[in-house]
Structure 1
Amino acid sequence: MKNVTLAEIFLHPITQKYLQRSGIAHAVKVTEHAFHLAFKYNVDLDLATKAALLHDIGHYEWYRNGKWDYELYRENDIHAIKGAERAHKLLIRLGEEPQRAKQISVAILLHTDSYLPEAQIKRSPLQKVVKLADEMDEEKGGNHHYNVMDIETAFQRLQRLDKLIETYHPLPAYKENLR
C-alpha cells in the first residue's frame, strides 16, 4: 500500500466536486487545525489531517426558494454519514490501507453531533481531534462554508502539510487522551 497524500486526495475529482460544495477554505483550515491538535495530543498526524480534509464531503446543498437555508440544513442534514461513506470509497480507490481508511471514515462520521440523537458518545482521540478542529473554524449560520480560497493556494498549503507529516510521521497513535 502506498501512502496517499493530502495533495493527491485534494486533486481527485470527487474531492474537488464536494469540497466546492462545502468550502475549500474551511476544509484546508480544519486540516491545518487538525495537524496542530494531533501533534499536540500525539494522535496520528496522517489520519487526523485526512479525516479533517474530508470531514464535510457529505454535504448536501439545502435550498429553499433558490436560497441557501441554514435552518433547513440543520433540521435535515446527515452529511457526516454520507461523508464517511464517500471518504471510505475514495480512500480505498486511491490505495489507502483499508483499516486506516476505516479509522478516517469513522472520525468523519463522528465529527459533529448535528444529526445524532441526544446521547453521550465516547470518541477516540482521533475523533476528538477532528471534531475540535472543525469547531475551531466554525462561524455563525454556517458562514465558514462560504469563505473563499483558490485551488492553487489550497493545494500549496496541503503540500506543506504533507511535507510536515512526512517529517514527523509516524507518531505513536493515541498515546495521550484528550481532556
Structure 2
Amino acid sequence: MRNVTLMDVFTHPIAQKYLQRSGVAHAVACAFHAYRLAVKAGVSPDLAAKAALLHDIGHYEWYTDGKWDYEKYRRNDIHAIKGAERAHKLLIRLGEEPKAAKEIALAILLHTDSYLPEGELDKNTLQQIVKQADELDEEPGGHHHYRQMDHTAALKQIQKLDQLIDQAQYPIRSSV
C-alpha cells in the first residue's frame, strides 16, 4: 500500500495554499493526464499523479498594476525550482518514501524548460510524462491557471484518482 495518497497531499494546508494560487482545476486535470500516460508507459501512476498535481506549486504571482502579467512571468519565473523544493518538503513531511519524494521533486523541477539554458536534457519517462500532462492542459496566455473548480468536486476527483491508482498498482487477481 501507499504511504501517502493523493488525498493526503491535496488536503494538506500547504498544498491547498499553493494549489489555490496556481489553479486547482489545472492541477487535477494534469494529475489525471499523468495517471493515464503513466499507465500506458508502465511508470508508477502514483508518482506521476502526485508530481502532476504538485507541478505548479512554486508559482509566484507576477502582477503589474494589480493585473496578472503573463509576459513578466514568462521572462522571469523559476516556479519549477521552488515547486520541486516545496513538493519534496511536503511529501517528506507527510511520510512519503524519500526515494519517491525525490523522483516526484525531480519531475516537477524538469516539467518546464522556461528557466533552463538552451540545450537538451535527457529526461526519464516520469519527467517526460509530467511535462506532457502539463502541456495537454495548457491554454494560451496561462489561462489554464484560472479555470475554476469547486472544492467538493476537486475532492471527488482526487478520491476517484486515488481509487484508480490503487487499482492500477494493486490489481485484484483471481485465484482461479
Gapped regions of structure 2 (runs ≥ 5) = 172-176
**Cα shift at 1:170:** 5.7
2:49 alignment counterpart: 49
1:175 alignment counterpart: none
Distance 1:42 1:117 in 2: 30
Distance 1:49 1:79 in 2: 19
Q: What does the per-residue CA deviation read over 1:20-79, in whole Å, with 9 as the maximum and x for residues that have no partner? A: 100000000000000000011111111000000000000000000110000000011000
Distance 1:160 1:170 in 2: 15
Superposition RMSD on alpha carbons, in Å? Answer: 1.3
Matched, 1:28 2:28: yes
Contact 1:44-1:170 within 8 A present in 2 as well? no
Contact 1:45-1:170 within 8 A present in 2 as well? no
> Kindly tell me: are residues 106 and 170 of structure 1, through their superposed partners in 2, closer, same or farther at Cα, counting changes over 3 Å?
farther
Contact 1:58-1:82 within 8 A present in 2 as well? yes
1:176 alignment counterpart: none
Distance 1:166 1:25 in 2: 22
Normalising by structure 1, we get a TM-score of: 0.93
Report the 3-state secondary structure (helix = DSSP H, G, I; strand = E; otherwise coil) of the residue aligned with 2:7: helix
2:174 alignment counterpart: none
Gapped regions of structure 1 (runs ≥ 5) = 172-179
Q: What does the per-residue CA deviation read over 1:74-131, in whole Å, with 9 as the maximum and x for residues that have no partner? A: 0110000000000000000000010100000000000001111111011100000000
Report the 3-state secondary structure (helix = DSSP H, G, I; strand = E; otherwise coil) of the residue aligned with 1:83: helix
2:11 alignment counterpart: 11
Contact 1:58-1:83 within 8 A present in 2 as well? yes
Normalising by structure 2, we get a TM-score of: 0.95
Between 84-93 and 114-123, report the one with greater CA deviation.
114-123
2:92 alignment counterpart: 92
Q: After superposition, where does 1:73-92 map in structure 2 within 5 Å?
A: 73-92=73-92
1:163 alignment counterpart: 163
Report the 3-state secondary structure (helix = DSSP H, G, I; strand = E; otherwise coil) of the residue aligned with 1:105: helix
RCO higher in 1 or 2 (8 Å CA, sep ≥ 6)?
Answer: 1
Structure 1 runs of 4+ off > 4 angstroms? Answer: none
Q: What does the per-residue CA deviation read over 1:103-160, in whole Å, with 9 as the maximum and x for residues that have no partner? A: 0000000000111111101110000000000000000000000000011111110111
Matched, 1:139 2:142: no
Alignment length, in residue pairs?
171
Question: Percent identity between the aligned chains?
Answer: 66
**Cα shift at 1:2:** 5.6
